[in-house]
Structure 1
Amino acid sequence: MNQFFSLRAIFEEQNSDYGSLGNNISKIIPLLISLLIIFTIQKNRRIINRDY
């Protein structure tokens, strides 16, 4: 969890340099992570269902 916050701090520092682009990136990354988590959960469910 601390690693995530340190990454977020780095992004917030870069936001001041990049402006709107940096803000967009920092909004997109959590979205991508959540999509990846949802995708892997559904994939695992499919594998579990196949076993039964």
Structure 2
Amino acid sequence: MNQFFSLRAIFEEQNSDYGSLGNNISKIIPLLISLLIILTVQKTGV
């Protein structure tokens, strides 16, 4: 759960820091990958 909240904090931080859509997309993609990994780990119960 802590990972999710830290990701959310990072996401909000980057949203306020970067105005251009291109920068946002390049920052969001790694976050989405991280979320997928976390969800997969939770799903498998590891």
TM-score normalised over the length of structure 2 = 0.51
Matched length? 43
Gaps of 5+ in 2: none
CA distance in 2, matches of 1:42, 1:3: 12
TM-score normalised over the length of structure 1 = 0.45
Structure 1: 4+ residue segments shifted above 3 A? 1-19
Considering only aligned residues, what root-mean-square deviation do their CA atoms show, in Å? 5.3
Q: Which protein is richer in helix relative to its size?
A: 1
- Percent identity over the alignment is 95
Larger displacement relative to structure 2 (3-12 or 22-31): 3-12
Larger radius of gyration: 1
CA distance in 1, matches of 2:33, 2:39: 10
Gaps of 5+ in 1: 44-52
Higher RCO structure, 1 or 2 (CA under 8 Å, sep 6+): 2
